[in-house]
Amino acid sequence: MRISAIETRLYRIPPAIQIEDAIQRVSHWEFIVSTVTTDAGIAGTGFAYTNGLGGTAVRELVDTYLTPLVLGLDPLDVERIWGRCWWELHALGSAGMTRFAIAAIDIALWDILAKHAGVPLYRLLGGSRDRFPAYGSGINMHLDGEPLLDQMRGFLDRGYRAVKMKVGRDNPAEDVERVGSVRRLIGPGVRLMLDANQKWTAAEAIRRVTLLRPFDPFWLEEPLLADDRAGHAHVRQAAGVPIAVGETLYTRYEFADYMRAGAVDVVQADICRVGGFTEWLKIAGLAESLNLPVAPHFMLELSVHALCAVPNGLILEDLQGGSLTDLGILAEPIRVVSGELAPPARPGHGIVFDPAALRRYEVTGKVTGITPTRT
């Protein structure tokens, strides 16, 4: 079996609801979708995403540099192909857009491998379990009072036993009020995760956590710039709250450095941002060797396969307004039921895009009408 063609398209899709955290507003997600076809008639779909910036560059990397590199290769040699793509782009940088480009190819190859084997992807990857608990995740910095509580009530009504909210208001008292109101609503038996999206310095994070600790956060996510590994270690030791990190880390080496530094309790590697399943599995294995759980960032439909494959999975993120189903671009919806999600049972990853729905959002040339993401 050989790779005979790769077609890559770019789509800019607005979120289903307003999306705003401590540092940015997301007016569009960009999806870079690659269809890898083989001479055996098996095709796989891979994709990566951005928060609205860089999609054309990622598409160009896939079309111009990676596609000629992998045409004619055996798609079953997924590790060899990943390595070739990584070396080809490594001089541009080992993280960021180079990883997104590799992910679009890698995810499609794993889709092909599972289809070739005739099994759902999670079973091919390891088959540790066949469903996984999820938490309701809100990018909700703009919400206060009843609108915030209504979002949380919606999560509880759908069977979630864990929820996440954004923190990082300029006025610490506002964070205290918002978090306190949510904790009073959900009660002590529901996990409450807090996400600062890299907003603070180490000293400020420690001060803020002192104010928020009475509400028993299950974890504090990205309190500092992801570049500041030593700062995360300091906050973790001083604040006394578990630290979750990973959505803005891109390589197994970055994750290894965080783990060695004692800077992370929950590993949140994002499948698209680390370059696909090939790299994600290595990061999950590294975490397991240090008795750390993994809770992938975003991408519900991919993350459920990853979590069901490994023994150290913790919980699945269902981002309100950001799932492929919420965006209205799937031919067959994939939804959490009673707080849990089972991966699609068909061979492959089971993600089937609706071509007509996607067509409305396709970008064939340059991106125009850009809205700044910074708040």
Helix (H) or strand (E) holding 30: strand 29-38
What type of residue sits at position 204?
E
CA gap 8, 35 in Å, rounded: 6
Q: Would you call 199 a catalytic residue per the annotation?
A: no
CA gap 125, 195 in Å, rounded: 29
- The residue annotated as part of the active site, out of 28, 115, 116, 166, is 166
- Helix 252-260 and helix 229-239: axis angle, to 10°? 40
- The residue annotated as part of the active site, out of 116, 164, 199, 297, is 297
Residue with tokens 């005979």: 4
Q: Could you please report the per-residue DSSP string of 65-120?
A: IIHHHHTTS-TT-HHHHHHHHHHHHGGG-SSTHHHHHHHHHHHHHHHHHHHHHTSB
Main-chain phi, psi angles of 371, to 5 degrees: -105, 125
Q: Would you call 166 a catalytic residue per the annotation?
A: yes
Query: Cβ neighbours of residue 120 under 8 Å, at least 6 residues apart?
Result: 114, 305, 343, 344, 345, 346, 347, 348, 349, 350
* Residue 90 neighbours by CB distance under 10 Å: 10
* Residue 120 neighbours by CB distance under 10 Å: 23
Q: Provide the annotated active-site residues.
A: 166, 297
